Amino acid sequence: MFRLDGKTALVTGASQGIGRTLALQLAQQGARVIPAARSVDKLESVAEEIRSAGGQAHPLALDISQPGEIAGQLGELPEEFAEIDILVNNAGITRDGLFARMGLDQWEEVINTNLTGAYAVTREMVKGMMRRRYGRIIFVSSVVGLMGNPGQANYAASKAGLVGMSKSLAKELGGRNITVNVVAPGFVETSMTDGLGDRVREQLEKTIVVRRFGSPEDIAAPVIFLASAEAGYITGEVLNVSGGMYI
Ligand SMILES: NC(=O)c1ccc[n+]([C@@H]2O[C@H](COP(=O)([O-])OP(=O)(O)OC[C@H]3O[C@@H](n4cnc5c(N)ncnc54)[C@H](OP(=O)(O)O)[C@@H]3O)[C@@H](O)[C@H]2O)c1
């Protein structure tokens, strides 16, 4: 079950963290994978790992904060990777700060990458998916977009925006056999959470029902499920993957 043989998947933010694991695991399920991000050397190593396990991968330099350049960057894909069946909008950044002191640049940087970037990549993919009458679009949001978090008004707004966008898209695209869903992780062990001090971590773990941070693998599993043919009757859904931090 949940095999992805014959499908092509593009994962944004695949140079490290959750996206890296996602790219490797989508490939393990049989998909041809396009790991995309700005750090080309890291993408090369992801692609190499996929190839050495017998899979197919093509790394793609992609800066989602530059919407005007995305079509050109996608145009660099070789023919065998050009028709994308599965899109995982995973790339994201944080620029935390209390709202009263949050400058417009800090607000815009996060909204431009996390929300406008996801819009711009998805928009490039949708026409092809509509023509081929098949698609799986998954947005990696955050429980912070559902419950809020002090110091993260910009990030929470961007992640909540993904939920509204995906539900609207689900309604527009369902008739073409394209599903659109959101995975909303809680705290996950990546560089995004590396900087948390021990005391903060301990406090946070107390708010998580299963009493631990998630791993990138914990997030990859539901993404693979939503990317599969078997999940074809699930669309417009938000899957909270937070170990019960948000119930
Ligand atoms: N870790 C958590 O606790 C957590 C919780 C909830 C949600 N999430 C979400 O999960 C996703 C992955 O997070 P992570 O923890 O794996 O973070 P991470 O380790 O910081 O990785 C972020 C990824 O996004 C890419 N990226 C950033 N800006 C980009 C841009 N302008 N264009 C293209 N790629 C860009 C980075 O690659 P380059 O720098 O190479 O471009 C990197 O691969 C994010 O959307 C995050 O908001 C994370």
CATH of the domain at 41: 3.40.50.720
Q: Does 138 reside within a domain? A: yes
The structural domain count of the chain equals: 1
Whether ligand 1 lies within 6 angstroms of the CB of 214 is answered as: no
Q: Of all protein residues, whose CA lies closest to atom 45 belonging to ligand 1? A: 92
Range of the domain at 235: 8-188+216-239
| Ligand 1 mean position, distance from CA 175 (Å) | 31
Q: Does 177 reside within a domain? A: yes
Q: Does 22 reside within a domain? A: yes
Whether ligand 1 lies within 6 angstroms of the CB of 17 is answered as: yes
User: pLDDT 10s digit of each residue in the chain, 247 long?
Assistant: 999 999 999 999 999 999 999 999 999 999 999 999 999 999 999 999 999 999 999 999 999 999 999 999 999 899 999 999 999 999 999 999 999 999 999 999 999 999 999 999 999 999 999 999 999 999 999 999 999 999 999 999 999 999 999 999 999 999 999 999 999 999 999 998 888 888 989 999 999 999 999 999 999 999 999 999 999 999 999 999 999 999 9
Whether ligand 1 lies within 6 angstroms of the CB of 192 is answered as: yes
Query: How far, in Å, are 47, 118, 124, 185 from residue 142 at the CA level?
Result: 26, 14, 23, 5
C-beta of residue 196 within 8 angstroms of C-beta of residue 153: no
| Ligand 1 mean position, distance from CA 78 (Å) | 25
What's the confidence (pLDDT) of residue 195?
Answer: 85
Which residues are paired to 68 by β-bridges?
Answer: none
What's the confidence (pLDDT) of residue 91?
Answer: 98
Closest ligand 1 atom to the C-alpha of 214?
A: 3
Query: How far, in Å, are 20, 95, 204, 206, 217 from residue 213 at the CA level?
Result: 18, 21, 9, 10, 12
Which string of b and e fits 57-84 if b means at least 16 CB within 10 Å?
Answer: bbbbebebbebeebeebbeebeeebebb
Helices (H), the chain: 17-28, 40-52, 67-74, 104-110, 117-132, 144-147, 153-173, 191-194, 198-206, 216-227
Q: Does 199 reside within a domain? A: no
Q: Does 202 reside within a domain? A: no
pTM metric for this prediction: 0.98
C-beta of residue 86 within 8 angstroms of C-beta of residue 136: yes
Catalytic residue status for 246: no
Query: How far, in Å, are 29, 42, 199 from residue 19 at the CA level?
Result: 15, 12, 27
Q: Does 107 reside within a domain? A: yes
Six-digit token string for 231: 């999940």
| Ligand 1 mean position, distance from CA 38 (Å) | 11
Q: Does 42 reside within a domain? A: yes
Q: Does 82 reside within a domain? A: yes
